[in-house]
């Protein structure tokens, strides 16, 4: 059954001062706060993680590690030691780097980034030599073989992933979630929260629809409640 734990709020801010009102307001309504490169670069990982924990939130550390195995393993050991709930590594860093992250993930959950939701079919073919759904399936198999807990993928790959028995138990974390009342912005491959959950998503990453909802929806709290109600009823 869906709960607030299925919702990850993308905490896109360049300072803790700007992030704090969202953490305080949304902690009762979302399962985790995704902290990405902007906030981590501006404030530093230890300060950000400690601050969110102090305010009662869980952390998805969206550092997207993409480096040689030794570096990825060392970084994974450090971030898992900070008590984050989730962190991630790019599939394109290779199997050895994913394995190094898995060996050092501690009690944290390791996710593997497959194909970014901002990547079009044409761009995916240019970068990877294949369309997104083919690369996502390949990267998902790599993630499981390397010992990761789950993957990050477009919601449009969910249905296909759930049809593959070997991949059924992987966590499936999906950005590119846009309620019907929200704008698509720069996401190319999107679904609504209820559609994504029905297709097998375990976690929904949602940012601007909550942080900057249309005027008719109300506040970020109102938006989060509306999304939670949607997935509870799907």
What are phi and psi for residue 140, nearest 5 degrees? -65, -45
In the set 18, 34, 64, 85, the catalytic residue is 64
Asked if residue 152 lies in contact with residue 176, where contact means CB atoms within 8 angstroms, the answer is no
Asked if residue 71 lies in contact with residue 94, where contact means CB atoms within 8 angstroms, the answer is no
CA angle, corner 28, sides to 24 and 33, nearest 5? Answer: 65
Beta bridge partners of 128: none
Active site annotation includes 18: no
Spatial distance between the Cα atoms of 138 and 144, rounded to a whole number of angstroms: 10
Report the 10 Å Cβ neighbour count for 56: 10
Token pair recorded at residue 78: 């450090």
Three-class DSSP category at 33:
strand
Spatial distance between the Cα atoms of 122 and 127, rounded to a whole number of angstroms: 9
The single-letter DSSP state of residue 177 is: B
Report the 10 Å Cβ neighbour count for 214: 12
Active site residues: 64
């Amino acid at each position: 059954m869906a709960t607030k734990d299925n919702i990850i709020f993308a905490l896109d801010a360049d300072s803790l001062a700007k992030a704090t009102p969202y953490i305080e307001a949304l902690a009762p309504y979302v399962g985790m706060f995704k902290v990405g490169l902007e906030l981590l670069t501006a404030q530093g990982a230890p300060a950000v993680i400690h601050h969110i924990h102090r305010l009662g939130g869980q952390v998805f550390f969206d550092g997207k590690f993409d480096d040689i195995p030794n570096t990825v393993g060392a970084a994974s050991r450090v971030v898992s030691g900070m008590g984050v709930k989730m962190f991630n590594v790019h599939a394109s860093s290779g199997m050895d780097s994913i394995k190094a992250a898995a060996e050092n993930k501690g009690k944290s959950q390791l996710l593997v980034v497959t194909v970014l939701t901002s990547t079009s079919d044409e761009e995916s073919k240019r970068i990877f030599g294949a369309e997104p759904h083919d690369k996502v399936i390949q990267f998902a198999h790599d993630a499981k073989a390397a010992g990761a807990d789950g993957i990050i993928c477009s919601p449009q790959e969910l249905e296909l992933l759930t049809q593959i028995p070997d991949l059924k138990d992987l966590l499936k974390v999906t950005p590119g979630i846009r309620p019907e009342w929200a704008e698509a912005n720069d996401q190319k491959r999107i679904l609504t929260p209820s559609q994504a959950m029905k297709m097998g998503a375990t976690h929904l990453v949602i940012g601007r629809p909550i942080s900057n909802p249309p005027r008719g929806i109300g506040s970020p709290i109102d938006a989060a409640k509306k999304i939670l109600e949607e997935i509870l009823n799907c």
